[in-house]
Amino acid sequence: MVLFRIFAASLLMVLPLLAQPGRGGATMTHVHVNSADPEAAIAFWTGALAVSGYSTGTMSGITMQGGVVLFSKAAPTGPSVGSAIEHIGIRVPDFAPLMARLAKTSYKGSQATPGGPLLIEGPDGVRIEVVEDSDMYTVVEFGHVHVVGPKAVEMPAWYTANLGARPGADDTSVRIGGALWFSKADAVVPTKGRAIDHISVETRDLAAFTKKMGEVGIKLEATDKPKVMAMTDPSGMLIEVSEAQ
């Protein structure tokens, strides 16, 4: 059993962080955070949450099994709570080591119920939900992006139809490489400029994807990045779309 666990953990580490884009849709590549001090924020994530540092091009961030978070130097206009992305969810095998590391920082966690998820209000107002899963093999894993808004019930179908999402764990979630969970909330603001600014996805053919979205009334707009377009889902979550290399 021990050898099996070691093999399984090794296998997980060599698998791609996120699945490759499907021909008919898009696949999430990372979550993007606005931070007044990216270096300090990354130090919190790598120290308290035991994730690894990560860089691509001029961008820096963190990585863990199943997900990447990148940071831009920009003071957020508000915390993630109150916007269409309420939190980032991660999983750990045991709360105790995490709580010991967290106690050495100025950020604290709270549980609504004993044994329930741990909520951390992290740097720049990024809420992180941590779930304890004793069956996992790695130190920390990416869990989900939690999207809230008045149209939560409609969102899984929207992502399935437009981004080629696959069913999630239940009818309130989908997978587009990473998992998106949806909950109803009546008063949220768009994510652009907030602590969790957007998710990024890749598609095989950006021009074809843009055309397809236009045919169903979804407009993609140019960004300040070459070959990157942006769209907003019905909840107000900003989605950046690039072409897979």
| Helix (H), strand (E) counts: the chain | 5, 16
Point out which residues pair with 184 in neighbouring strands.
149
Residue 179 · residue 168 · CB < 8 Å: yes
Q: Rounding to the nearest 10 degrees, give the CA dihedral for residues 97, 49, 166, 8.
A: -50
- Please report, as a single letter, which amino acid is at residue 157: A
- pLDDT tens-digit series, residues 171-213: 999 999 999 999 999 989 999 999 999 999 999 999 999 999 9
Which residues contact residue 6 at a Cβ distance below 8 angstroms, ignoring those fewer than 6 apart? none
In degrees, rounded to 5, the angle at the alpha carbon of residue 51 between the alpha carbons of residues 133 and 141 is 30
Residue type, 6: I
CA separation for the pair 40, 204 (Å, rounded):
35
Sorted by sequence, the CB contacts under 8 Å of residue 245 that are 6+ apart come out as: none
Q: Report the pLDDT value the prediction gives residue 19, as an integer from 0 to 100.
A: 45
Whether 62 and 68 have beta carbons less than 8 Å apart is answered as yes
CA angle, 163 then 155 then 203, to 5°: 15
Tokens of 6: 């070691």
| Stretches in the chain below the pLDDT threshold 50 | 1-23
Domains defined along the chain, listed by start: 2-202 (3.10.180.10)
Quote the tokens at residue 229: 């377009």
In this prediction, residue 226 carries a pLDDT of: 87
Which pLDDT tens digit goes with each residue over 52-70?
999 998 999 999 999 999 9
Structure tokens at 105: 């920082």
